[in-house]
Amino acid sequence: MGRYLLKRLSQAVLVVISVMVVVFVVTRLIGDPVAVMLPLEATEENRALLEAQLGLDRPILAQLGDYVADAVRFDLGDSLWQRRPAIDVVLERLPPTVLLVAAGFSFGVLLGLVIGIVSGMRPGGWVDRGAVTLGLLGVSLPQFWIGLVFIVFFSVGLGWFPTSGSGGIEHLVLPAVVLGLPVVGRIALVTRSSMIDELNAQHVKDATGRGVSRSRIVMVHALKGAGIASITIAGWELIGVLAGGAVVVETVYAWPGIGFTAMQAIERHDIILVQAVVFVVAIMVVTINIIVDVAYTMLDPRVKFDRVS
Amino acid sequence: MNTVSSGSRSERRRWAGWLMRIVRDPTALFGILVLALLVSAALFAPIIAPLDPNKQDLAARLLPPFYAEGGSAEHLLGTDQLGRDVLSRIIHGTRISLTIPLVSVTLAGVFGTAVGLLAGYRGGKTDAFIMRIVDTLFSFPGLLLALTILAVVGPSFWTLAIVLSLRIWMVFARMTRGLVLSAREAEYVEAAELVGASPVRIMLRHIAPNLTAPLLTLAVLESAHVILSEAALSFLGLGIQPPQTSWGLDVAIGRQYVFSAPWLIIFPGLAIAVAVLGINLLAGWLRVAADPQESAKRFAAAADAPSAWSG
């Protein structure tokens, strides 16, 4: 277990470093960071000054080395927009994102599990058909659009929730629901599918033959198998919510988290702040991956630690 | 899918059989109809669309759709803040919504399949090395990284298509590798190896036919993801740029008028939703149709293939 964790941790560090190298290559080699950051009317002197300030006039490999070395020490440079360490800006905006992601993800997983279990128990019935349609809608509707439609109906039309911003629990409801909708869809479809598999599996049929009650079979046997299947996909979903959905939903609802910050930074051509957001999200993503793998291994006795690569 | 047809007649009969299966299944029929509608809208946009999507008419600004008070048959779905016809913009928007996934999925599919074939067939260190890279890329923060790249490189049709294909090629690589590995263990492949068939022949004759159906299904499924990502990126201002039209871009424009002119966001978004739903249903049906074991769970198909993203 200890050796396994150590191996996973070193892999995680490698992933974060490669993300930063990709960002570096894209910003410094393919793009022109100075041109992106400066206004159109900037003079040659402005350019040279900013280049020297950012160290862009030095050899590229020296830049890359310093960049990775600084990133490992959580130093990503000063935000051009806020004029203070970019990492501080990101860490300051992190709590709202964690709150939103936690709320949206829990909503998505819980509702998805309930829908999946209920529809998987009687496949083909009208409850099942309704659930599958709902699941398909969840994965097919664009989040930014659902977010705006909810604003039109629930905020403008019915006046139940504020249109945007943060503050009380009433601000959290709409963005969290929108963030969780694709999760509801996918978790429901996967849980349903593995419920059907489990209920048809030999050990479950044997249990039925021994006279174990239906509710006990669903609760003990089928749910366990379905739970294992859902955990893997739940990890994927959490990563998708964090690295994708949150940016879109925070932007729609002006929710002051790191996704909204990333968009503001892009609008203000603050590449350094964008890099800091990517860095922090990359760390969170690899951490989630490790947690999911460990949870998976603990839940499913068929998987051994040394076998998971 | 592995049957080798002996002539054009049995080929035709097989196609007719597939056609009958599609018509009998309402979800597949819906998917096919949506796809046909999209393709014809994209091909014949200038003929079908009532007006030029970029023609401004400041006298007819923010007109409501036909069913609302003040709406007219001239602008069925209303007009935007510059007096451009919403319906015409949606019809022209199908072009981007279909060409981006077509280009991205083709690029990603060809590259990913080639990499997966290499990993699966060579095995050993090559396989371990390639799959390590693939696993690393799966841990990348998808949409956020795409946003960063597009912000720096500058959004355009081709940068968008390439960035989106970079995000999904690993899915094809991983699936191809898995399929090759399981096909290689099949008895008929071992038999072919024993009688001395060349690697190329084994690859083309015995392994490739097992790849076609699952990879095509994956390509359809990934197209739905790419449509959603393109729309999201265009909505955020880092995808398709004016004067080109895209559904996501139109929703972004309509966002400023969400209180006074909600039709500007409702209809382009509805177009995205219907397109993605149709393609998802088609992908789900394809998977079931290609795999008899799945038939019992027919409705479950569209979304449980793990994907590199959501957005």
Q: Give pTM, 2 decimals.
A: 0.86
- How far apart are alpha carbons A167 and B99 in whole angstroms? 42
Residues 6 or more apart in contact with residue A32 via CB below 8 angstroms? none
Interface touch A137/B277, C-beta < 8 Å: yes
> Residue B4: its pLDDT value, please?
47
**Amino acid letter for position B262:** P
- How far apart are alpha carbons B207 and B184 in whole angstroms? 7
Structure tokens at A33: 């960071």
What does the pLDDT look like over B181-195, one tens digit per residue?
888 778 888 888 888
Mean pLDDT of all residues in B16-42: 83
Mean pLDDT of all residues in B282-294: 75
Cβ atoms of B235 and A244 closer than 8 Å: no
HEC string of B57-107 equals CHHHCCCCCCCCCCCCCCCCCCECCCCCEHHHHHHHHHHHHHHHHHHHHHH
Is the pLDDT score of B292 beyond 80?
no
Is the pLDDT score of B310 beyond 50?
no
Mean pLDDT of all residues in A276-302: 84
Is residue A93 classed exposed, middle or buried when 0-12, 13-18 and 19+ CB atoms within 10 A define those classes?
buried
What does the pLDDT look like over A33-44, one tens digit per residue?
777 777 777 778
Q: What is the DSSP string of B267-311?
A: HHHHHHHHHHHHHHHHHHHHHHHH-GGGGGGGGGGGG-S--S---
Interface touch B142/A244, C-beta < 8 Å: yes
Interface touch B281/A136, C-beta < 8 Å: yes
pLDDT averaged over every residue in chain B = 83
* B136 in contact with chain A, both atoms CB, cutoff 8 A: yes
> Residue B7: its pLDDT value, please?
55
More confident residue, A93 or A300: A93
* B140 in contact with chain A, both atoms CB, cutoff 8 A: yes
> Residue A302: its pLDDT value, please?
63
Is the pLDDT score of B274 beyond 60?
yes
Question: Which of the residues A118, A141, A144 would you substitute to probe the B interface, choosing the one with the greatest number of B C-beta atoms within 10 Å?
Answer: A144
User: Percent of chain B beyond pLDDT 70?
Assistant: 91
More confident residue, B310 or A211: A211
Exposed e or buried b per residue across B47-85, where buried means at least 16 C-beta atoms within 10 angstroms of its C-beta: eebebebeeeeeebebbbbeeeeebeeebbbbbbbebbb
Band of pLDDT at residue B104, cut at 50, 70 and 90? very high
Is the pLDDT score of B115 beyond 90?
yes
Mean pLDDT of all residues in B38-47: 88
| Alpha carbon of B231: minimum distance to chain A alpha carbons (Å) | 8
What does the pLDDT look like over B116-131, one tens digit per residue?
988 988 888 999 999 9
Cβ atoms of B203 and B118 closer than 8 Å: no
Interface touch A242/B262, C-beta < 8 Å: no
**Residue B85 β-bridge partners:** B79
Cβ atoms of A293 and A12 closer than 8 Å: no
Cβ atoms of B93 and B87 closer than 8 Å: no
Question: Which is nearest to B164 in space by CA: B215, B116, B109?
Answer: B109
* B228 in contact with chain A, both atoms CB, cutoff 8 A: yes
What does the pLDDT look like over A180-210, one tens digit per residue?
999 999 899 888 888 888 787 777 778 778 8
Question: Which is nearest to A135 in space by CA: A57, A214, A233, A6?
Answer: A233
Interface touch A233/B224, C-beta < 8 Å: no
- Enumerate long-range contacts of A24-27, CB under 8 Å, 24 or more apart: A24/A63, A24/A64, A24/A67, A24/A68, A26/B148, A26/B149, A26/B152, A26/B153, A27/A271, A27/A275, A27/B148, A27/B152
A216-225, B73-82, B98-107: range with highest mean pLDDT: B98-107
DSSP A306: G
